Structure 1
Amino acid sequence: MSKQLAVERAARAAAEFGDAAGVVDAAAADVFGVNPTDLRILGAVLDGPLTAGQVAAAVHLSPAAATTAIQRLVARGHLTREPDPEDRRRAVVALTPSARELAERIYGPVGEAGVAEMQRWSAAELELIADFLERGRAVQLAQAARIRALVADREPPLDEPG
């Protein structure tokens, strides 16, 4: 296989892998009864409590949008909002035990299947795969930042004051 065909195959496989992960997350969102943004918030607090500002930064939302989503997730019984033990003037949000258990039921087998699949490769091959994924992630995040900057650079339409 030529290098060009190999690059195309790898790029296509990476895109399809991302799409498949999106399908898993869409199914998880359905089980939780939430939208994709709310699911990202649940994922952000999986490792421990966060302030609303930390949630907003983690999932790239405005503070107001994050607060609205957090309120929805508290109302649905997926998050708790408690005073921050380090600064009682602010609150932190955390997964409820039932949401944590549901996340484990959903994503635990996904992780186990992925680890089992990775056992097929040597340590050197896994290093190469990890390098590819880490570099690909960096490229994607850089491109997301570039795309977000287009909003700031965009000139208002001629028919609108601005």
Structure 2
Amino acid sequence: MSKDSMIREVATSLRLLQQSFDAFDEAAATALKINRTDLRALDLLLAGGDPLSAGELSAALKLSPAATTTVIDRLERAGLAVRIHDPHNRRRVLVAATDAARDAEHVIYAPVGDAGAKALAGYPAEQLAIILDFLQVARRVQEEQVIRVRSSQRRPNRP
């Protein structure tokens, strides 16, 4: 197989991988009875472990403050997040994942991590280093493309 053919095959495999991630996220959101934006917010709350301010959540989600408030309201109604007062600033409200959210994380996401770790254990360290490098490069390329697309939306339309 030529290098060009292999690059096309990698690109196709990446597209299919992205579709599988999307399908999993949709299944997780459906299981939790929330939408995909709420799922992204919940992921942020679970990932760091520490509560986030609404402003931090808004910035990370790239949503307006009003839209973020709506997301937090929905997560609260679902029992997956709670607002708490910042112990260092009484006027600031923080958002934290609930125990129910952590239980859901364990049920839905822990098996994915376990299966992934088991699959990766079959690779020697040298190949894992190549896989890690590829993933880091792929992420950087994708982030650059996000910036490119967003910046093109700010420019006037060109014929």
Q: Deviations over 1:7-44 (max 9, x none)?
A: 11111111111111111111000011011010000000
Match of 2:119 in 1: 117
Match of 2:72 in 1: 70
Q: Deviations over 1:75-121 (max 9, x none)?
A: 22110000112222111101110111011100000000000000111
Match of 2:62 in 1: 60
Matched, 1:85 2:69: no
TM-score, reference length from structure 1: 0.91
Matched, 1:8 2:22: no
Aligned-residue CA RMSD in angstroms? 1.1
SS where residue 94 of structure 1 aligns?
strand
Tell me the distance in 2 between the aligned counterparts of 1:140 and 1:122: 27
SS where residue 27 of structure 1 aligns?
helix
Match of 2:137 in 1: 135
SS where residue 45 of structure 1 aligns?
helix
Unaligned runs of 5+ in 1: 156-162
Higher relative contact order, chain-length normalized (CA < 8 Å, sep 6+): 2
| Off by >2 Å, runs of 4+ in structure 1 | none
Letter in 2 for 1:24: F
Tell me the distance in 1 between the aligned counterparts of 2:9 and 2:22: 20
Tell me the distance in 1 between the aligned counterparts of 2:88 and 2:126: 44
The more displaced of 59-68 and 45-54 is 59-68
Tell me the distance in 2 between the aligned counterparts of 1:115 and 1:96: 26
